[in-house]
Amino acid sequence: MIDIDKSLEIAKDAALLAGKFLISANNDAQKILVDDGRDIKLQIDQDAENLITEYISTRSNLPILGEEFGHKGNLGSAFWVIDPLDGTSNYFRNIPICAVSIALMHNNEPILGVINDFFSENLYFASKEKGAFVNNKRITVSNISEHSKGTIVTGIPSKKEYSKEYFSRMIDDFKCWKKVRMIGSAAIANTFVAAGKAEIYREEGIFLWDIAAGAIIVKEAGGKISMSTADNKFRLDAEFTNGKV
């Protein structure tokens, strides 16, 4: 049986630890491991994931799925999901919109999530049926119900190819909303919906580790979440709203 309260504290501590590490290394020259098309990976992504994995694995025996190193063996019905640095390109260019994201999945559903917006010193977290918080202050989604008054936050996942239909659907969707925001971090975008700063986050082909923590945080803040089944590369379509638009 999973001790959710204990697991949440583990996730919060791991996210804070990684955040401190990423802040301390922010002004250092970053070693680029991958710079291919729209994708960029830094050595610090792997270093942060190792730090988180080591911390969690000494306190929990559940499997871990990480963005950088994947997973070993069968994940089973319950496992951790780690994105050590969501918004790597922002971090690399000194744009302070990035986060550490950690979630715990059970039966394909996130049951707790932590997002450390470390540059802003905001720690978002939630667990099933316990509400959503930032720095221990409860947060809720907005009450805006009209698209014409709402804000959509989205992004364009790193892929090799994009169809004209993909961008056509995106543009048609944008026309419905008062404002459109692309900020380069799905995790931070999710916190905007949860905290009532935006009304909807939608993205196709996003990775599970980018949005798992945000999903439970939005849901516990009173929002509505929809996620397709992840494929064998852990890509899925996600839509998180305030439940009113």
Q: What is the pLDDT of residues 176-199, one digit of tens each?
A: 999 999 999 999 999 999 999 999
Q: Which domain holds residue 22?
A: 4-138
The residue among 121, 138, 155 that closes a domain is 138
Distance separating alpha carbons of residues 134 and 129, to the nearest angstrom: 16
- Residue 159's pLDDT is 67
- Residue 23's pLDDT is 97
Tokens representing 50?
Answer: 């190792």
User: Other CB atoms closer than 10 Å to residue 198's CB: what's the count?
Assistant: 28
183 and 120 both lie in a single domain: no
170 and 233 both lie in a single domain: yes
- Residue 27's pLDDT is 86
Q: What is the pLDDT of residues 66-117, one digit of tens each?
A: 999 999 878 999 999 999 999 999 999 999 999 999 999 999 999 999 999 9
Q: Where are the alpha helices (DSSP H) in 25-162?
A: 43-57, 88-92
Tokens representing 187?
Answer: 């995790």
The residue among 103, 119, 138 that closes a domain is 138
Contact in structure between 29 and 149 (CB atoms under 8 Å) = no
| 18 pLDDT tier (thresholds 50, 70, 90) | very high
- Give the CATH number for residue 134: 3.30.540.10
134 and 165 both lie in a single domain: no
Q: What is the pLDDT of residues 84-95, one digit of tens each?
A: 999 999 999 999
Q: What is the pLDDT of residues 195-211, one digit of tens each?
A: 999 999 999 899 999 99
User: Other CB atoms closer than 10 Å to residue 226's CB: what's the count?
Assistant: 11
Q: Which residues pair with 100 in a beta bridge?
A: 116
- Residue 134's pLDDT is 98
Distance separating alpha carbons of residues 204 and 3, to the nearest angstrom: 32
- Residue 39's pLDDT is 82
158 and 116 both lie in a single domain: no
Q: What is the pLDDT of residues 35-54, one digit of tens each?
A: 887 788 999 999 999 999 99
- Give the CATH number for residue 207: 3.40.190.80
Q: What is the mean pLDDT of residues 136-156?
A: 96
Beta strand 78-86 with 64-66 is parallel
* CA end-to-end distance (rounded Å), the chain: 37
The residue among 138, 157, 190 that closes a domain is 138
Q: Is the pLDDT of residue 12 over 70?
A: yes
Percent of the chain that is helix, strand, coil (3-state, to 5): 30, 30, 35
37 and 117 both lie in a single domain: yes
**Residue 171, Cα to own-chain centre: how many angstroms?**
24
33 and 57 both lie in a single domain: yes
Distances 158 to 49, 94, 126, 198 between C-alpha atoms, Å:
20, 20, 28, 23
18 and 93 both lie in a single domain: yes
157 and 129 both lie in a single domain: no
- Domains: count for the chain: 2
189 and 210 both lie in a single domain: yes
204 and 126 both lie in a single domain: no
Q: Which residues pair with 122 in a beta bridge?
A: 117
Q: What is the mean pLDDT of residues 121-131?
A: 98
Q: Which amino acid is at 84?
A: P
- Residue 99's pLDDT is 98
Tokens representing 15?
Answer: 């996210």
- Residue 160's pLDDT is 64
Tokens representing 220?
Answer: 């516990």
206 and 164 both lie in a single domain: yes
